[in-house]
Amino acid sequence: MGILLKRALDQAAVWHRAQKRKYPNADVPYISHLAGVAVLLARHGFDDEVVAAGALHDAMEDQGVTFDELIQHFGERVATLVRHVTEQDRALPWEDRKRLYLEAFPRKPWEAQAITLADKIDNFQSIIVCSREHGDPWSMFKRGREAQIARFEELRA
């Protein structure tokens, strides 16, 4: 593991320290998801900045970390990649946010697309783990099984 990724994981653990995975009947720290995304990107040969951005991909969206804070800690490229994978208007309804994100997806840089895909793959892996160890995996999602599957299907298009 490179120094940049170590710093990114350490900082992500601090920023997300109170956040948990949505597993029913289990208290799993959110950093497990962020590390999972980073591992997927590293395994597929992405450079250290992309892997670090994968570890930090939810910092702005979930923790209110600013673009400038990311630049200060990790540089402009990492911050820009995180911004590319962050939903821009959290005030909009969930369905509208997801639709806007998907509409913009084809125009995003390949590295940002890869971070999004690694995020979805890790979420799928969590569904499998949850179903085996923690109960009904679809209970993790506010909108249930059908809405989640439809959302993943849209990325395929």
Residues 6 or more apart in contact with residue 53 via CB below 8 angstroms: 8, 74, 77, 78, 81, 82, 85, 111, 115
| 61 classed as catalytic | yes
pLDDT of residue 79: 99
Domain boundaries, given as residue ranges, for the chain = 3-156
pLDDT of residue 26: 74
Question: For 117-131, how does the pLDDT look when each residue is reduced to its tens digit (9 = 90+)?
Answer: 999 999 888 888 777
Stated pTM of the model: 0.85
Residues 6 or more apart in contact with residue 132 via CB below 8 angstroms: none
Q: Which CATH architecture has domain 3-156?
A: Orthogonal Bundle (1.10)
Among 10, 48, 49, 61, the active-site one is 61
d(CA 154, CA 63): 26
CA distances from 27 to 8, 18, 58, 118, 130 (A): 22, 11, 19, 23, 12
| 49 classed as catalytic | no
Listed as ranges, residues in the chain with pLDDT below 70 are 134-144, 151-157
With beta carbons less than 8 A apart as the criterion, state whether 112 and 119 touch. Answer: no
Among 62, 69, 87, 154, the active-site one is 62
- Which has the closest alpha carbon to 73: 87, 59, 90? 59
